[in-house]
Copies of this chain bind each other. A is one copy, B any other.
C-alpha cells in the first residue's frame, strides 16, 4: 500500500518534516512518498498545493497525509479544502499552551528556524570555521579552544560529525586521525595527551570502513579489509587502554552520534 505525505509550512518546513517523519516512521508496513513543501506563504501557492495534494489522492486512491505548521489562517483554510488528511500541529497544541501560559500566541510565521540573534549567528559560523580549520589534525595548537576532539581512524565519520555539531549546536569540535604511526607506538599522540578530557573516540566496523575507503581510493592498501581491520582493532585497544569514551558509528546516523557524544561528555550546546 502506498500513501503520499506532505510536510507543508510557510517557513522552512523543518518542524513539520521532523514531526511528520517521526510519526510516519511508526508505520513500518506502509510505503510513504514524502514531499516537503516550504514557503507556502501565499494564497496562490496554497491553491497550487491543493492541486498537488488532490492529484496524489487520485493517484494513490487514498487521502494523502498532511503535516502542516502554516500560521496564516487564509492559507490554512485553503489547505483544509484539499482531499488530504490534516495533522494540524500548531492548533493542536497552541490552545492548551495559551491556557497554561495565560498568554496569547503571536501566531507569526517561521519563528523557530529563523536567525535568532547576531550572537547566535556568529557562534555558529565560528563553530563551522573551527571545525574546518581543525579538521583531520590540520592544526593542533588551538585544542585549548575546542569543546571536543574526536579521534579515530581515517574515514570513520569524524568530519561530518564535527560539522553537524558545529551547525546544529554551535559546538567547537576538532578532529584528529589516528594513523598507523600512532598505533605502532601504542599510545596517544603528544598533541592529544594534554587534552585527554576532551577526547571522544569513533570506531566503525571494518567492512563498512573498507567500503567507504574504496570509494575514495579504490583497490589501495589503505582501503583493504586487512588494513581496515588492523587499524580498527588497534584503535579500539587504544581507546580501552586510555579509557577514552567511544562509540561505533556504523549503525548510527550523524544526528544520533552527535546527541550521544554531547550526553556522554556532558557538553552543553552553545546555541539555545
Q: Which of B38, B63, B94, B255 contacts A259 (CB 8 A)?
A: B38
Task: Tell yes or no: A134 within 8 A of B by CB.
Answer: no
B15, A22: Cβ atoms closer than 8 Å: yes
Task: Tell yes or no: A167 within 8 A of B by CB.
Answer: yes
Number of copies: 2
Q: How far is the CA of A39 from the CA of B266 in the complex (A)?
A: 13
Task: Tell yes or no: A90 within 8 A of B by CB.
Answer: yes
Binds B, one of A114-122, A194-202, A234-242: A114-122
With CB as the reference atom, state the residue of chain B lying closest to A97: B23
Binds B, one of A24-32, A47-55, A72-80, A222-230: A24-32
B110, A160: Cβ atoms closer than 8 Å: no
Q: How far is the CA of A13 from the CA of B6 in the complex (A)?
A: 22
B101, A3: Cβ atoms closer than 8 Å: yes
Measured CB to CB, the closest approach of chain B to A91, in angstroms, equals 11
Task: Tell yes or no: A145 within 8 A of B by CB.
Answer: no
Binds B, one of A125-133, A171-179, A182-190: A125-133
Query: Given A19-B89, A38-B263, A26–B110 Cβ distance below 8 Å?
Result: no
Task: Tell yes or no: A65 within 8 A of B by CB.
Answer: yes
A93, B23: Cβ atoms closer than 8 Å: yes
Task: Tell yes or no: A111 within 8 A of B by CB.
Answer: yes
Task: Tell yes or no: A192 within 8 A of B by CB.
Answer: no
With CB as the reference atom, state the residue of chain B lying closest to A135: B132
B26, A106: Cβ atoms closer than 8 Å: yes
Measured CB to CB, the closest approach of chain B to A80, in angstroms, equals 15
Q: A104-163: which have CB < 8 Å to B?
A: 105-108, 110-116, 121-122, 124-126, 128-129, 132, 157, 159-160, 163
With CB as the reference atom, state the residue of chain B lying closest to A258: B12
Q: Which of B30, B112, B216 contacts A103 (CB 8 A)?
A: B30
Interface residues of A (CB under 8 A from B): 3, 11-15, 18-19, 21-23, 25-30, 34, 36, 38-39, 63, 65, 69, 85, 87, 89-90, 92-94, 96-97, 100-101, 103, 105-108, 110-116, 121-122, 124-126, 128-129, 132, 157, 159-160, 163-164, 167, 212, 215-216, 251-256, 258-260, 262-263, 269, 272
18 interchain pairs, CB-CB under 8 A: A12-B256, A14-B259, A15-B18, A22-B69, A22-B90, A25-B112, A26-B106, A29-B103, A114-B253, A115-B251, A115-B252, A115-B253, A116-B253, A122-B215, A125-B157, A129-B216, A160-B167, A163-B163
